[in-house]
Structure 1
Amino acid sequence: MTSRELPLGEPVEPCDRLDRPQRAAQQGQFVTLEPLIPERDLQQLFECSNGDLERDQLWTYLPYGPFPDIAAMGAWLREIAPLADPLFFTVLDRKADRPVGMVSFLAIAPEMRSLELGHIWYAPGAQRTSINTEAIYLMLCESFDRLQYRRVEWKCDALNERSRTAALRLGFQFEGLFRQHRIVKGRNRDTAWFSMLDLEWPVIKQYMETWLYRAEPGAISLRAFNSE
């Protein structure tokens, strides 16, 4: 009797180190990602994200928020600040010198060299600016360049059209839909999954740096670059 050889995946070179994202500031031209410190960040994070319909809608697709008062948001920030996964950062607008949102690394799997970017939100005035692009650029540099991870994920509510558009614009590839994946605030959530791989990063990095630092504002489309 002869046996048919079964297909196998490509061999993966071992990595000498299995590091995790650092709880350390990452500075760009437009933003600094500062490790979350509730005592320092609470007042301005609350003011930019709560208090009227536009700001309250920031929390629509997240499992927390909006917060009825600053004490409630403070309790939440104090709960999440010590965590290593998710590892939360405050996004500081360098020009305004004030917090305008939050991001995190999560689902961190050093042995698989994979992680996710998530818990991302920005104040209305910071949306559709260079802030999100550079914040994600800094996180991708940490993930692929320093940590040498193989895969970075982006997940969102399938109904969150803004997040889905952002993922594609930034160079992530749509992988599929996890149906009835979660229950969030008493409602069904289908989850859209996206990813970026280490072999894709060098070209995406070049596009992002051109858009952020070399092109005239509005002269080129990052989405057009990443859809080529």
Structure 2
Amino acid sequence: MQQRTNEFGQPIGLAVANWQGVPKPDGATLTGRYCRLERLDAERHADELYDAYGQAPDARDWTYLSAGPFDALDAFRAHLTRIAATADPFHYTVIDSATGKAVGTLALMRIDAGNGVIEVGFVTFSRLLQKTRAATEAIYLSMRYAFDTLGYRRFEWKCDSLNVPSRAAALRFGFTFEGIFRQAIVIHGRNRDTAWFSIIDSEWPAIRAGFDTWLEPANFDAGGVQQRKLAEFIDMQRGMAGGTTSR
């Protein structure tokens, strides 16, 4: 592709025609096949979420999060009440379609509607949600909402650089690793270097098609075990589109 230049001969970025920004999340329920995302409501969701998080044998799931763990329901409910009132981060509860129970939360955050940039974060999935089709679909629903409904240009994932499972999840979901922000924040009295990942709108159609195929019931056996991995479907779609693979 030939580099664009201005009247001074300086290289400049591609034109973004008729860009006027995009809307912010409005609290609409996002419904999929295996789960739905509802705006977090402490009164409706606190008890079920507290029970779901209590399925874990220890507190390791909270190590890389800025809040928790919570040893009492009242403290947890107060935490949910506080974060449910914020517009950024904009918190959602993940409801398992099979049980109707709240099993985790996530948020759309660092919302830059003027530039079309948004991040998924505060991903707090209970043991009832982790490593399930619903967990993958929850992330997919947030992506689809950002790109297809609201029209964002960039969708981000950030995590502690030492959080190996989170970094692996980002790659599995089709994000591109962009680098490490050294000494980005202090959390729980310790340093955090932050790993950055992103998906941009031109990459989204192939990634969306990969998710759509992976989420089909035919991709799972009677025991719910996947027949083919998500990354395989995404890589196949990228190859068809002439893009690069995730591995």
Indicate if the aligned counterparts of 2:29 and 2:38 stay in contact, CA closer than 8 A. yes
- Mean alpha-carbon deviation: is it higher for 44-53 or for 129-138? 44-53
Q: Aligned residue for 1:211?
A: 214
What's the CA shift for 1:4?
6.4
Q: Aligned residue for 1:9?
A: 13
Q: Aligned residue for 2:30?
A: 26
- Give the counterpart of 1:35 among 30, 35, 39: 39
| SS of residue matched to 2:104 | strand
What's the CA shift for 1:87?
0.4
What's the CA shift for 1:50?
3.6
What's the CA shift for 1:221?
1.0
* AA at the equivalent of 2:91: F
User: 1:11-39: per-residue Cα shift (whole Å, max 9, x none)?
Assistant: 11223563111212111110010111101
* AA at the equivalent of 2:105: M
Question: Does 1:121 find its partner at 2:129?
Answer: no
- Give the counterpart of 1:45 among 49, 64, 74: 49
Gaps in structure 1 of 5+ consecutive residues: none
Pairwise CA RMSD: 1.6
What's the CA shift for 1:127?
0.9
Percentage of identical aligned residues: 40
Indicate if the aligned counterparts of 2:176 and 2:197 stay in contact, CA closer than 8 A. yes
* AA at the equivalent of 2:230: L
Distance change >3 Å, CA 16–CA 187, structure 1 → 2? closer
- Matched ranges for 1:136-215 at <5 A: 136-213=139-216, 215=218
- Give the counterpart of 2:78 among 75, 78, 99: 75
The ranges of structure 1 where at least 4 consecutive aligned residues each deviate by more than 3 angstroms after the TM superposition are 50-54
TM-score, normalising length: structure 2: 0.87
Question: Does 1:100 find its partner at 2:103?
Answer: yes
- Give the counterpart of 1:220 among 197, 212, 228: 228
What's the CA shift for 1:187?
1.1
Gaps in structure 2 of 5+ consecutive residues: 1-6, 221-225, 236-244
What's the CA shift for 1:48?
1.4
* AA at the equivalent of 1:147: L
- Mean alpha-carbon deviation: is it higher for 125-134 or for 89-98? 125-134
**Whole-angstrom distance in 2 between the partners of 1:88 and 1:207:** 26
